[in-house]
A = this chain, B = another copy of it.
Amino acid sequence: MAHYRCDYPMRWSDMDAYGHVNNVQYLRFFEDARIEAFGAHRAGEDGGSMLDTGILVARHEIEYLKPLTWRPEPVHIDLWITTLKGAMIEVGYEVYDAPVDGPRVRYALAESTLVLYDLAAERPRRLTETDIARLEGLRGGPVPFRARRRKSA
């Protein structure tokens, strides 16, 4: 079990008219974090890329915990896999600062549901044994969301 950690450089334009990083931009950060994490995880292994076959975003869920203001220094993003099943990969994220002299400051928690998709056949495709072996190293626990989730209808 391991989390992939990105040091993500914000852009000044990530701030909105309220002077905080806009809530929508966090999902933009996660887009790059996924590309980096899956790419980095891939390197040094078998060289193939799941991205070659297509991954669709099926769902996002995000909780905002604390406002974030732009500064030149990157913000940290941890990324880990919460579910690997069928054609589905679920990814957890935490956006935070890790001061040397104090506790971690959390800005957001989130989860994305991704679906492996065979672009040629135009349908979802199941994770192979190879896919699972390759992603196993990024497995982590459930996202510690604060909001009580509704039961399914």
Contact = CB atoms under 8 A, between A and B. Distances in A.
A134 interface: no
25 contacts: A11-B28, A11-B32, A12-B17, A12-B31, A12-B32, A12-B35, A13-B16, A13-B32, A15-B17, A17-B70, A23-B60, A35-B72, A57-B64, A58-B64, A59-B62, A59-B63, A59-B64, A60-B61, A60-B62, A61-B61, A61-B62, A113-B147, A144-B153, A149-B149, A149-B150
Interface of A: 9, 11-13, 15-17, 19, 22-24, 27-28, 31-32, 35-36, 39, 56-64, 70, 72, 113, 142, 144, 147-153
Contacts of A15: 16-17
Given A15-B17, A39-B72, A56 B60 contact: no
